[in-house]
Amino acid sequence: MPAVPALSYSSFRTYEECPLRWRFLYVEKLPETPRGYFTFGRVIHSVLEELVQPLVVPLARKAGESDRQRTLDEWHPHPHAGTPGRWMTEEELLVAYDRTWSGEGYVSPDEEARYRTLGREILLRYYDLLVRERPAPVAVEEHLEARWDGIPVHGYVDRIDRTPAGGLEIVDYKTSRDLSNDDARESDQLSLYQVLVESNYTEPVEGLTLYHLRSLTALKTAPRARTALAGLHDRLGSTLDGIRAGAFEPSPGRYCARCDFQSRCPEFRTVPKAEGERLRTLVDRFESLRAEEGRLESELRRTAEELHRAAEALGVHRVPGSRSVAVRRREEAWQYSLDAVRPILEGAGLASRVPSGAPDEVRRLVRDPTVDPELRRKVAETGARRVKWYWELEDGAPEA
């Protein structure tokens, strides 16, 4: 297993969807079948980079945990960016589009033609919008790296704009069919980009935007709060732990239909003919035993309940059989109403004594002699005891 790479959004998302697919892509580096909609998105992003790049007025970046200070001298523009500050004409925009176009992944010439027409329409309409509302970009397609509390992350941010207040706005282009405000508010990608920008720039992030290019709709949302980012950090940490541990089990789901690696996946791989008959017999036997297991469990439960009723009526805990003695045991557990317990403890400043609200935590507090007896009594009164009876067998039946 190679050293764990820095996690990008796409890498992280892939592992969450299916760890085995992550291994195929990032460890074995197996190629995927090209798809037209991915190619289309890459082409549009590239042309937009070339369109906006001349307007960029870059900011110096701060030194991060693993990054030295970058200066303006180290800024390298897009290879076809043209003259800094000069706005591209419509004709030049279409020339850039034709030069960048790729037919990779389309299922037919008709599909490619439809996408090519769509891309032309998107770019011309977006061009008109930018002419009227020129942005103030400080970076386009910026590759950023950071160590987020020990987790290496990186990503390419489509655009970073300076806001009127002097802060930064992160803009992520989307060529998908539909987007909603919820997509912007819940986007893990925007959250990760916020972390990357905050780690590399001094200016604060003041806004996040998913830009839906098909409808020319800017779906804006506020920067993520620290508490919201903490959840993403935990998930990234779980992903990193899984990769380090070599945990690459398949995770079947709705993504399987478009996966290129089904022939290599144990969820879809077929049994060789040479083993088919032997394994078929084992499966049939397993099915039969599972049915018998269910029947026996049901019969065992009914018998235990009948024994319990008889023992209750007779007031005994030991019932002899021909070969063994059935011994009745009791298991006791307490349950507490957290809605009732928490106000009591918060009023006494003791809420930290039951951080998870687990019954064992509450029970320990109720038995603690250092706690005020009246308060312990109030907490105890919110509880209910649950008793479960079960049977064990001892060898040897007593003599009659």
Residues 5 and 25: their CA atoms lie apart, in Å, by: 13
Average pLDDT, rounded, for the chain: 88
293: pLDDT strictly greater than 80: yes
Q: What's the distance, CA 50 to chain centroid?
A: 32
Task: Give the pLDDT confidence score for residue 66 in this predicted structure.
Answer: 42
Lowest mean pLDDT among 136-140, 257-261, 268-272: 268-272
Task: Give the pLDDT confidence score for residue 76 in this predicted structure.
Answer: 45
72: pLDDT strictly greater than 50: no
Q: What is the DSSP letter of 107?
A: S
Residues 114 and 143: their CA atoms lie apart, in Å, by: 31
Residues 51 and 96: their CA atoms lie apart, in Å, by: 9
Q: What's the distance, CA 310 to chain centroid?
A: 53
**Which two structure tokens, joined as six digits, stand for 368?**
């603690």
34: pLDDT strictly greater than 70: yes
For 9-253, CATH number out of 3.90.320, 2.60.40, 1.20.120, 1.10.3470 equals: 3.90.320
Contacts 24+ apart (CB under 8 A), 382-386: 382/336, 382/337, 382/340, 382/341, 382/344, 383/334, 383/335, 383/336, 383/337, 383/359, 384/334, 384/335, 384/336, 385/332, 385/333, 385/334, 386/332, 386/333, 386/334, 386/335
67: pLDDT strictly greater than 50: no
Name the CA dihedral angle for 339, 345, 351, 354, rounded to a multiple of 10 degrees.
Answer: -70
- CA torsion sign, 81 to 86 to 87 to 91? negative
Domain boundaries, the chain: 9-253, 281-313, 317-400
Query: What DSSP element (H or E) covers 291?
Result: helix 273-314
For residues 223-240, give the mean pLDDT. Answer: 94
234 pLDDT band, cuts 50/70/90, is very high
**Per-residue pLDDT tens for 280-290?**
999 999 999 99
**Per-residue pLDDT tens for 173-207?**
999 888 999 999 999 999 999 999 999 999 999 99
pTM: 0.70
For residues 147-164, give the mean pLDDT. Answer: 95
331 pLDDT band, cuts 50/70/90, is confident
**Which two structure tokens, joined as six digits, stand for 332?**
């006791």
CB atoms within 10 A of CB 80: 16
Nearest to 359 by CA among 378, 384, 377: 384
397: pLDDT strictly greater than 80: no
Residues 359 and 361: their CA atoms lie apart, in Å, by: 5
